[in-house]
């Protein structure tokens, strides 16, 4: 059977966008705490606002998040229920892998 790789281009771009630890952290934060502005994300991630903004732009461009404007403030949220389901799967999977690799929670935080 011949697979047409074209149908995997969007998935590849989505996975590539999620391939950065800061973007994964942003998505986990939005998943757990709901919509947020850059300032709140900046404080929890301990990254410069410009860095967070660049990552948010990438996530928005790929369609994983959307931006709502409230005056001068931009509020970021996960775009759609399918993205929420997908992210929950990824983070649950990650937790299960860590739990099975380190059953006594002996994880070294670097």
Per residue of the chain (110 residues), what is the pLDDT tens digit?
557 777 788 889 999 999 999 999 999 999 999 999 999 998 878 899 999 999 999 999 999 999 999 899 999 999 999 999 999 999 999 999 888 877 666 555 54
- Whole-model pTM: value is 0.83
Q: What are the start-end ranges of the H helices in 34-110?
A: 38-45, 49-62, 81-101
Question: What is the domain extent for residue 81?
Answer: 14-98
Q: Is residue 4 part of a domain?
A: no
Q: Is residue 1 part of a domain?
A: no
CB 70: neighbour CB atoms within 10 A?
9
Q: Is residue 38 part of a domain?
A: yes
Task: Please give the tally of structural domains in the chain.
Answer: 1
The CATH number linked to 36 is 1.10.10.10
Q: Is residue 67 part of a domain?
A: yes
Under 8 Å CB-to-CB from 60, ≥6 apart: which residues? 66, 67, 76
């Amino acid at each position: 059977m011949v697979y047409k790789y074209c149908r995997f281009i969007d998935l590849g771009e989505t996975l590539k966008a999620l391939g950065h630890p800061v973007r994964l952290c942003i998505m986990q934060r939005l998943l757990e705490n709901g919509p947020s502005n850059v300032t709140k994300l900046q404080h929890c991630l301990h990254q410069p606002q410009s860095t967070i903004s660049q990552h948010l732009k990438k996530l928005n461009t790929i369609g994983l998040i959307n931006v709502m404007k409230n005056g001068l403030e931009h509020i970021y949220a996960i775009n759609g229920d399918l993205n929420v389901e997908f992210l929950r799967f990824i983070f649950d999977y990650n937790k299960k892998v860590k739990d099975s690799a380190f059953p006594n929670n002996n994880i070294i935080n670097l």
